[in-house]
A = this chain, B = another copy of it.
């Protein structure tokens, strides 16, 4: 008799955004006349830019002709894209990352869920709290969670690093030494960033303890403040302790196009084994490359025109962030994030729980946000709004929230 993976049964509730989707759909069915504005899930709304769509069209044409048709992509990504990434995202910033240290994939969500596979089951992981749910859930599914505690609203084997207003939503090095440390800056969900010196402390700590940092840089394009690192490899010694995840979803609007990459430096070894070779093996065995046409679109992101257009997208969303920040602050809300990140993190008013505020906002303002408690126990009492809506919808949503 086959036995199922019981670790799945330890997961609490369904995946956060599936739950929100169901709640919103139910509301719409009951209130067909209401215009619901979604500032919940971090999904972009601007169309792909002209340079990107041209690259896609050209690549489709190539695929339609025998002479230029392409079958299986190289497992780890086409050289043209890996080189463009290394040159633009790293060398231009003074980071010594080579093209063959870059693994192209169909998105940072997949990579952030799969990366834990190359590590043994009995590692202790540490996460920020609140946190992007995939880091925790993928580890629970792999048996690294221990058991769920009603009391702490967390898992016994996971080290939670509270990120609260008291510490500017930056995690502190925990008492217990973690083996794997998940960090994400600009942060999802809080929108917080940390400076280079602060990040350097984590790198030094990981190198000292032999830990590995999984650094999620999905939102780096939103950084505007001087001195905030765009990559962990700006820190000294990061190549011997850090893996970095990147997404094209939020800078280039690829949430529905699917492209991302992960950097595993060749110098990164543990137990004498190269993590680069382990991840390469995972990729070549369980993955089959991102679509050729999508990789060409990724390449176009780094063209001169592409870069300009992408900067325009980021500016568009950051205008939204500013409107939300100023609007809610003016209305008396306590808000943070939204300066170097497309997320605004607000304290729920009148002592409401996160889900109470979710229902309140949906019912009174017909605005969808994300309950902070969905990101972890220390997200309780907070709420996330995203800047990824259209400007018109964002203005309307904020104006509605102000008066409820």
Give A residues with C-beta under 8 Å from B: 1-6, 8-9, 11, 14-15, 17-18, 41, 43-50, 52-53, 56-57, 60-61, 63-66, 68-73, 75, 106-107, 109-110, 113-114, 117-123, 133-134, 137-138, 141, 179-180, 209-212, 253, 255-258, 270-271, 273, 275, 278, 281-282, 284-294, 390
Contacts and interface: CB of A to CB of B under 8 A. Distances in A.
A286 B114 contact: yes
A5, A17, A290: which has the most chain B beta carbons within 10 Å? A5
Nearest to A11: B281
A293 B2 contact: no
B47 A71 contact: no
A179 B61 contact: no
Contact of A18 (B61, B138, B284): B284
A278 to B, nearest CB: 5
B257 A291 contact: yes
A4 B271 contact: yes
Contact of A50 (B47, B64, B71): B64
A301 B278 CA distance: 36
Nearest to A274: B4
Contacts of A48: 60, 63-64, 69
Given A138-B286, A291-B294, A256 B118 contact: no
Given A119-B2, A258-B290, A45 B60 contact: no
Nearest to A120: B3
A211 B120 contact: no
A293 B52 CA distance: 13
A4 B275 contact: yes
Contacts of A117: 5, 141
Given A3-B179, A11-B281, A291-B258, A41 B72 contact: yes
Contacts of A72: 41, 43, 255-256
Contacts of A41: 72
With most chain B CB atoms within 10 A of its CB, the pick from A4, A45, A209, A281 is A4
Given A3-B123, A290-B258, A60 B56 contact: yes
Given A47-B65, A64-B47, A282-B141, A2 B291 contact: no
B109 A288 contact: yes
